Amino acid sequence: MKKATALIEKWLLPVGLIVAWEAMGRAAALPTYLSTPVQILAALWEVARDGELSRAVLASLIRVIAGFAIGTAAGMLAGLGAGLVPGVRNFFDPLVSLLFAVPKIAFLPVFLILFGIGYASKIAIVGFSCFFPVFIASRYAVMSVDKMFVWAAQSMGTPRGKMFFRVVIPAAAPQLFAGVRISLAHAFVVLFAAELIGSHAGIGELIAEGENAARFDLMFAGIVAFAFLGFAGDRLLMALRARLLKGQSLGTEELVS
């Protein structure tokens, strides 16, 4: 009963808003450019039926997955190094402080000049955007590890390499995943803007096509497709987090096993 009540409470507001949106659209109480949910679903079916949606989704997925993987890996390696080694920290901190507040999409013209208008420039700008939140999360995650864990492992003679993988990384993992989750959101935001500005394929190009043709239903259909991909990616990441961190423990038996 409690689960059913919680489920109703969770979906009551979004479903209510969609129903109200559709009703107001049918009553001509909304601007013509604000397509109703039924019209958006019809546009989605239209582009799905002719294969245009699958091609756009595939192009966007390749870009976002590749850029996210590259940027996250680089940010984590640099962040962990900065958290552990003062020299690495002194090298990266000024650079990150200088660039972090700059909207990453502002660098798109540079990446377009370097890599062209195809996949490489989109992957590069996504990876560049993902680097910063993961770097910051990794840096502070390592530096905030409880020293008691490290001292306990040292007192038991745990080798330095083993201590890093069995003590530092597990203790820092929750904060690391927080940075990775923010990185994933950045990946979709930046890709969306990059595909709108210059692209021959992808969901962003589909949205631009709808805007140029005054097909607002098609434009919203692309936005819904982007939202679904972002939601699915976030859910997959959270499922991976729950699996990897399930039963996480730093007991003394685990430190020396």
Q: What is the CATH number of the domain that holds 173?
A: 1.10.3720.10
Is there a single domain that holds both residue 128 and residue 74? yes
Contact in structure between 107 and 125 (CB atoms under 8 Å): yes
What is the DSSP track for 234-246? HHHHHHHHHHHHT
Q: Which amino acid is at 11?
A: W
Q: Which amino acid is at 224?
A: V
Query: In 3D, which of 26, 7, 4, 36 has the Cα closest to residue 217?
Result: 36
Is there a single domain that holds both residue 42 and residue 20? no
Quickly list H helices, the chain: 2-26, 37-49, 52-84, 86-99, 108-115, 119-143, 147-155, 160-163, 169-197, 203-212, 216-245, 252-256
> Would you state the pLDDT for residue 126?
92
The tens digit of pLDDT for each residue in 58-111 reads 988 999 999 999 999 999 899 888 888 888 888 888 888 888 888 888 888 888
> Would you state the pLDDT for residue 193?
83
Is there a single domain that holds both residue 22 and residue 42? no
> Would you state the pLDDT for residue 67?
93
Is there a single domain that holds both residue 105 and residue 130? yes
The count of domains in the chain is: 2
Within the chain, which residues score under 70 in pLDDT?
1-2, 4, 6-9, 145-168, 198-199, 247-257
Query: In 3D, which of 128, 129, 126, 145 has the Cα closest to residue 80?
Result: 145
Domain hosting residue 169, numbered range: 36-256
Is there a single domain that holds both residue 88 and residue 172? yes
Instruction: Provide the 3-class DSSP secondary structure of residue 89.
Output: helix
Is there a single domain that holds both residue 65 and residue 84? yes
Is there a single domain that holds both residue 73 and residue 125? yes
Is there a single domain that holds both residue 3 and residue 50? no
